[in-house]
């Protein structure tokens, strides 16, 4: 194709206008390649904070899609895949900011290893500490238990690499099962015109995509050579209900996809137990230290217990409805 690009960047936005502006500024600032070699798509999921007008006013070169409803992360990315002309497709969160030429470094790595379909960058918190949910292993009972009961973090000090999430920082590229969709570089030829599974509204779709590609013989690699600051959960801070529900449903749904429904009850039990341990621990620490962030973590842990219980109740109602129809 004569209009082929080196890179297509897709950013799905929901009500984080100022962060989206910083994100787009960083993309153009930290990408050394000429503008004609890459393209940027912003898919807005019916934001009410003026995000669409901001993009129109400040970034006229961006291909903007303004949805009239929140269709979720996966579907919003899928919307523009067939318009992408890049040799590579970069999925980038609106609350992420590229630093130190991260995008170019990802592309350089991708050019060097043709059998890798997906590259994940080193995600950093605002204070530049490591975010462990950058990538990891596909979920099973052992690593889910290890994650929720803090066992994986302990085992990581003895060299274990089978944890659900990356537990420690590394200084070399690592083959993993999955990387976070917050910053995911994809080789277009590996996608075969298919991106995310529409059954996932938000969370879990990145695992499913990586599993599909890995099953097709491609490698998934996390590299610390490219760093991205990720204001984790920025668009989630003011959200409750269905969006927070998705954060636990995603992992649970992908586990079910891999292993079936037989042991989902055990996943639910481990999840509730893990958040129960956290609630007790943070409550005690908050009481004795009087530090506000421990009280906030205790409250958050308790809310996730209620969310897990809600997921279980929803599934029971759905199963009852299906049995009545039969």
Question: pLDDT tens, 42-93?
Answer: 999 999 999 999 999 999 999 999 999 999 889 999 999 999 999 999 999 9
What are the φ and ψ backbone dihedral angles of 180, each rounded to 5 degrees?
-70, 140
Residues 211 and 265 in one domain: no
Final residue before a domain boundary, out of 234, 251, 285? 234
Same domain, 125 and 216: yes
Contact present, 83 and 46 (Cβ < 8 Å): no
Same structural domain, 47 and 109:
yes
- pTM for the whole thing? 0.89
Per residue in 200-243, pLDDT (tens digit) is: 877 789 999 999 999 999 999 999 999 999 986 544 444 454 55
* Residue 165 located in a structural domain: no
Residue 85, in any domain of the structure: yes
Domain annotation covers residue 239: no
Our count of domains for the chain comes to 2
Residue 106: which CATH number?
Answer: 3.90.550.10
Range of the domain at 313: 261-325
Of 219, 234, 249, which residue constitutes the final position of a domain? 234
- 252, part of any domain: no
> E strands of the chain, at which residues?
5-13, 38-45, 63-67, 86-92, 96-98, 116-124, 135-136, 174-175, 178-179, 183-187, 219-230
- The string of pLDDT tens digits covering residues 147-190 is 888 887 666 555 555 788 887 888 899 999 999 999 999 999 99
Question: Cβ neighbours of residue 62 under 8 Å, at least 6 residues apart?
Answer: 24, 40, 41, 42, 55
Q: Are residues 269 and 218 in the same domain?
A: no
């Amino acid at each position: 194709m004569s209009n082929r690009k080196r890179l297509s960047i897709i950013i799905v936005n929901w009500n984080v206008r100022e962060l989206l502006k910083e994100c787009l500024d960083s993309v153009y600032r930290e990408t050394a390649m000429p503008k004609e070699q890459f393209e940027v798509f912003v898919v807005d999921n019916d934001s009410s904070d003026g995000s669409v007008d901001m993009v129109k006013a400040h970034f006229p070169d961006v291909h903007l899609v303004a949805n009239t409803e929140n269709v979720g992360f996966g579907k919003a990315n899928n919307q523009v895949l067939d318009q992408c002309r890049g040799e590579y497709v970069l999925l980038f969160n609106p609350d992420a900011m590229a630093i130190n030429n991260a995008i170019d470094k990802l592309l350089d790595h991708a050019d060097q290893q043709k059998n890798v379909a997906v590259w994940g960058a080193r995600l950093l918190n605002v204070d530049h500490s490591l975010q462990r949910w950058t990538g990891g292993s596909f979920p099973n009972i052992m690593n889910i238990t290890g994650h929720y009961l803090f066992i994986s973090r302990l085992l990581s000090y003895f060299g274990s690499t089978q944890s659900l999430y990356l537990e420690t920082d590394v200084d070399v590229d690592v083959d993993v099962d999955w990387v976070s969709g917050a910053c995911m570089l994809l080789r277009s030829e590996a996608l075969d015109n298919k991106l995310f599974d529409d059954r996932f509204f938000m969370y879990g779709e990145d695992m499913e995509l990586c599993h599909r590609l890995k099953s097709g013989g491609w490698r998934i690699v996390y590299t610390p050579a490219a760093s991205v600051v990720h204001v984790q959960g920025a668009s989630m801070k003011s959200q409750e209900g269905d969006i927070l529900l998705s954060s636990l449903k995603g992992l649970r749904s992908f586990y079910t996809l891999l292993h079936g429904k037989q042991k989902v009850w055990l996943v639910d039990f481990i999840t509730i137990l893990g958040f129960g341990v956290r609630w007790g621990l943070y409550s005690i620490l908050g009481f004795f230290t009087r530090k506000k962030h421990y009280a906030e973590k205790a409250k958050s842990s308790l809310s996730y217990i209620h969310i897990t219980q809600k997921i279980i109740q929803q599934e029971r109602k759905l199963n009852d409805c299906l049995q009545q129809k039969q």
